[in-house]
Chains A and B, each alone.
Chain A
Amino acid sequence: MNKNISIIKRSSLVIAILSLLGAAMYVVAGISVERMSATLLRNYISAVGIGYFINAAALAVAALIFFRIFRSGRPFTRGNIWAVRGIAGFFIVKCLIQAVLEGKDLGIFKAVIAGGDSIFFAVLFLVIAEILRYGRLLQTESDETL
């Protein structure tokens, strides 16, 4: 059991660092895309740039989750469940914002279909959150038994 937890802790630290690096890269990419679209098309907010910023936020939350797992060695906690739900929320917001920004050009229906992958990821993260919840129940049971 302890060996497994130490592996979880080590891999969580690696992924937390990589998530932070990824978030920083997305912020830089978002800024450059927004600058480029502001120069080429005045007063126009690029949906791609906004998408990059939301990805950066999702990665920052992922870094937080894995850092918490690294510190405590307990993946099934209330904080982690809410953080995973938060990532699902980011993807829903991303889809909505892109539908609004691209809706002018593509039409709302096509813009929502184009953001289908964000909705899919949101549902997937909600599944993960519920599995973590189930794990939390098992963890509580195990703690009470011991």
Chain B
Amino acid sequence: MDKKQLSRKIKCISHISLIAMVVYVVLDTFGFFPAKRSYELNFSEHSLPENIIGGISMAAVVFCAVAEFVSAFMLLNDLSKKRTPFTLRICNLLRNLGVYFIIDEIASAVFVFIVSREIRIELFWFAGLVLYAFSLVFRHGKRLQKQSDETL
């Protein structure tokens, strides 16, 4: 398979992923998936510093959730439109997505600990690190792409 065909294939699968992501978020918003355990911050049960840290971590989780959706949307949108997947914008979007995942995981772990005194850690921090590593790999790919374009 040559570069043009592969590029077309990447665009096609990215487009499918983009649609799947939007459908998934819509279904999740309207409660189609099994209910997850929810945590609530009751201000009267905690001290002032705990309330402040809990409020900040909750705001960080909400901000990261929105930022993750926007970054992932822009990333898949770029992948489905650009000539090559190795561009500076895509590298930066991948890196940002990784950072948002890590902040999200830390903030939600802090929030859950304050609310319920449980330590609950999921794999978002790991996904964040992997995305960060992939952003470096994409940077290497960007250099190869530049070399290839200059050769032609």
Please list the residues of chain A having a beta carbon within 8 angstroms of any beta carbon in chain B.
1, 4-5, 7-8, 11-12, 14-15, 18-19, 22, 55, 62, 66, 69, 75-76, 113-114, 116-117, 119-120, 123-124, 126-128, 130-131, 133-135, 137-139, 141-142, 145
B42 within 8 A of A: no
Given A127-B14, A135-B140, 15 more A-B residue pairs with CB atoms under 8 Å apart are A1-B140, A4-B136, A14-B129, A15-B129, A19-B126, A55-B123, A127-B13, A127-B17, A133-B1, A134-B6, A134-B10, A138-B3, A138-B148, A141-B144, A142-B144
> Is there contact, CB below 8 Å, between A113 and B33?
yes
Secondary structure type dominating chain B contacts: helix
Secondary structure type dominating chain A contacts: helix
Q: Mark B115-131, 1 if CB is under 8 A from A, else 0.
A: 00000000100100110
The one of B6, B10, B20 in contact with A119, judged by C-beta atoms closer than 8 angstroms, is B20
Interface residues in B132-152 by Cβ distance below 8 A to A read 132-134, 136-137, 139-141, 143-145, 147-148, 151
What range describes how many residues of B lie at the interface? 35 or more
